[in-house]
Structure 1
Amino acid sequence: MHRILATIDPIAFSLGPIDVRWYGVIIATGIIIAFLVGQREMLKKGFHPDFLTDLLIWAVPLAIIGARIYYVAFEWEQYRANPAGIIAIWNGGIAIHGALIASVIVAYVFTQKRNTSFLKVADILAPSILIGQAIGRWGNFINQEAHGGEVSRVFLENLFLPDWIINQMYIAGAYYHPTFLYESLWSLAGIIILLLLRKINLVRGELFFFYMIWYSAGRFFIEAMRTDSLYVIGELRAAQLVSVVAIILALGLLIYRRVELKKPAHYEDM
């Protein structure tokens, strides 16, 4: 018989009446580490030291807004009766696909304004995006959300997980799939592969396309395990639909550029 320990307090610390939650701390940590890794490569590629900072000033807040809009759009029946709740982001309800879509749009517009190749910047930052995602998923772990279906404790122990993870997956009297962990580890594997692919000097854009394919493939299968999915119609999960579209788009662009571009730029090209 295993003794269930207390779950992790979602509040990291308090500043007077303000509670600072682990979720926000973890997300911020992911952004900072992703920035540091991306900045190092940006400087190696000759970018101005302020370029990435200027991009993130726009991308981060708009990504949060995009994540909220995406979530509200697929939960509109809930918010139509309570429109004031749309802005109550502190009560939860953001979706990473919304953040990614908004970030890509912001990055494209920003690079066009700076007369810089969007694909060049996207290639450089692809590993950083996965770093942010790999770290950020641990915020879901603290909140005991974004988990999969019910499993046994023995199942979790057979995954060789430490007790502090197993205990945190004990929610309302049952254990659940740690899908946050599956996605975090999938992202970590993607980071390693992307860093190795950098050495091959692929055609510009292909590192970013690989990111789209890798993350989307993993998300498609992991999403099928989750119990909190957003749905398009019936049992069609929004994240799976977006993942399939992203894979098709990335493969299409990769093949098109390989066939049509006679002298394409490569990753190492300045």
Structure 2
Amino acid sequence: MDMTTETIDRVAFSFGPFTVYWYGIIIGVAMLLAISLASKEGKKRGFEEDTLIDMALWAIPIGLIGARIYYVLFEWDYYIQNPLEIIAIWNGGIAIYGGLIAGGLTVYWYAKKKEIPVALMLDVLAPYVLLAQAIGRWGNFINQEAHGGEVTRTFLENLYLPDFIINQMQINGVYYHPTFLYESLWSLLGFGLIIFVRNRKGLLRQGEVALSYVIWYSVGRFFIEGMRTDSLWIGDLLRVSQGLSLLLFIGAIGIWIYRRRDYPAKSYYLEGWRLKKEQ
């Protein structure tokens, strides 16, 4: 059987000494789309037009730094021996959970500083972050990373995948589970469902859109992570992302129940930010 297939070059283009990779382009487009859509939604909920854009100028770079730190910490045995590699992010090595944690804390800080309702800001952002994740996973596809264990070409063909995906899943003559695709589709489905329920009157209270995101993503990530071959581990017992997914799922459910018991009841999401300023 001829194992030679044509794969997609991870380099988009070069000019002079500079090389631009598809991964960076895809991540950049995903971020810009998410911020654009979130800004439009935020305006409907009572935010000033530039609020989310200003926030993104802080959250995106801090989120990227957090994603790198998270990865380095769980690969510390390597990086302590190669400290100069810590800043070599172009060689790969960022973790989405690290980015979400650092970015989320930045959003919390920014909202508190500007006296903006934290829960509502997180609600506005959450679905579009999930959309950005769905798009961003295609950067992993181009890089032939974040894949699962070995499979046959026949297995992939039986999933009715187009040839360009099947071919890209062949690495050094071996075909692998396209776990990037599983997570991308899971995130895309979650985006659609959250947008649908978010816009139902009298259904979700402020804070529950963001909690829906945490619950949905953590469930999918828990099972998909179990298929991957590049997981970060705590010892030899637990995949880091599976452990964190489980904690986030339980925590989000608990917070949801606690907030629903709160009195007076939280405002509904669609009520937005009802400003009452003393003149």
TM-score, shorter chain, exceeding 0.5: yes
The superposition leaves residues 72-91 of structure 1 with CA deviations (integer Å, 9 ceiling, x where unpaired) of 00000001111111111111
Q: How does 1:1-270 map to 2 (within 5 A)?
A: 1=1, 4-201=4-201, 202-269=204-271, 270=273
Partner SS, residue 270 of structure 2? coil
What do you get for the CA RMSD once the two structures are aligned?
1.1
Distance in 1 (alpha carbons) for counterparts of 2:15 and 2:110: 35
- Comparing 229-238 with 161-170, greater Cα deviation is found at 229-238
Unaligned 5+ segments in structure 2 are 274-279
Unaligned 5+ segments in structure 1 are none
Post-superposition, which runs of at least 4 consecutive aligned residues in structure 1 deviate over 3 A?
1-4
1:261 deviates by: 2.9
Partner SS, residue 48 of structure 1? coil
Distance in 1 (alpha carbons) for counterparts of 2:2 and 2:193: 38
Percent identity among equivalent residues?
54
The superposition leaves residues 127-154 of structure 1 with CA deviations (integer Å, 9 ceiling, x where unpaired) of 1101110000000000000000000001
The superposition leaves residues 17-73 of structure 1 with CA deviations (integer Å, 9 ceiling, x where unpaired) of 100000000000100111121111011112111101111100111011000000000
1:259 deviates by: 1.1
Distance in 1 (alpha carbons) for counterparts of 2:64 and 2:3: 39
Give the residue type in structure 2 aligned to 1:109: W
Partner SS, residue 229 of structure 2? coil
TM score, norm. by length of structure 1? 0.98
The superposition leaves residues 196-240 of structure 1 with CA deviations (integer Å, 9 ceiling, x where unpaired) of 111224111111101000000000000000000000122300000
1:252 deviates by: 0.7
